[in-house]
Amino acid sequence: MKRSRINDLLAEADEMIRRHGFVLPPFADWTPEAFSAQAAAAPHVVNARCGWDVTDYGAGRFDEMGLVLFTLRNGLLSDLTAGRGMCYAEKLLISKRDQLSPMHTHVIKAEDIINRGGATLVVELYGSDNTGAFAPDRGGEVMCDGLLRPYQPGEKLRLAPGQSVTLRPGDWHAFWGEGGDVLIGEVSTVNDDETDNIFREPIARFSDVEEDVAPRRLLVSDYPALAGYSVPPLT
């Protein structure tokens, strides 16, 4: 993806988020220079991969398959393993009309996917086989707004603003906006986008960036190149 397109998408996302009454934390507005200035005080923002993310899943067709994300808070896998500390994460996502987030599951993360506003959020569901692999003939059971609900393979949940679904490891899912763009909330256990996204098809989680202009805001995938920071694995 071109950096100029990413800059535009982040500006659009910030406007949409604010339009729905959600104010992002101050580090959402940090320029690359501000990150350098905060090097001593804000290592957790970088090491926990908080901040902006734009992906086209490496396919180069963002309008058809892509997502804009902002991670507001995130713990570490070591806390989750220990069963104490910061064992949670929170994100905002923007899925444009008919823009697919492709079929995937997680090995560790359980998550609430919440329609925070906009159009209808469609979530397509499949179950797993005994190894956790995608099973086209298996359904499962999820919780929708506190109520247990069985699902058939390939069933599409349609979530209106305010509605949510709880997905656990092994619940294979894809989602998109129906009838318009959707602001999505995600509340989960610790989020590790580098290793805990298992896609049905062999696609990339992060995009290659063509640096045609300077970045106005950094993406989480830019953090390893930041001077003054050490970005270890999310452990």
Q: Are 122 and 182 in contact (CB under 8 A)?
A: no
DSSP assigned state of 27:
G
Residues β-bridged to residue 181: none
Res. 232 pLDDT band, cuts 50 70 90? low
pLDDT above 80: residue 230: no
Q: What is the mean pLDDT of residues 33-62?
A: 90
CB neighbour list of residue 101: distance below 8 Å, 6 or more residues apart: 65, 66, 67, 93, 95, 174, 175, 176
> What are the pLDDT digits (tens) for 136-191?
999 999 999 999 999 999 999 999 999 999 999 999 999 999 999 999 999 999 99
What's the first-to-final CA gap in the chain, in angstroms?
29
> Binning pLDDT at 50, 70 and 90, where does residue 226 land?
confident
In which band, very low, low, confident or very high, does the pLDDT at 227 lie, cut at 50, 70 and 90? low
Which residues lie across from 92 on neighbouring strands? 70, 185
**Taking a C-beta distance cutoff of 8 angstroms, is the pair 209, 93 a contact?**
no
CB 114 within 8 A of CB 186: yes
What average pLDDT score do residues 73-87 get? 92
Tell me the C-alpha distance between 73 and 113, whole Å. Answer: 16
In this model, does residue 229 exceed pLDDT 80?
A: no
Burial class (CB in 10 A: 0-12, 13-18, 19+), 21: exposed
- Superfamily holding 3-225: Jelly Rolls (2.60.120.10)
- Three-state DSSP state, 178: strand
Residue type, 13: A
CB contact at 8 A, 149 and 141: yes
Residue 127 — pLDDT band, cuts 50, 70, 90? very high
- CA nearest 93: which of 157, 20, 33? 20
Range of lowest pLDDT (123-127, 161-165, 224-228): 224-228
Rounded to an integer, what distance in angstroms lies between the CA atom of residue 48 and that of residue 99? 27
Pairing of β 51-55 and β 155-159: unpaired
**Contact (CB, 8 A) for 217 and 52:** yes
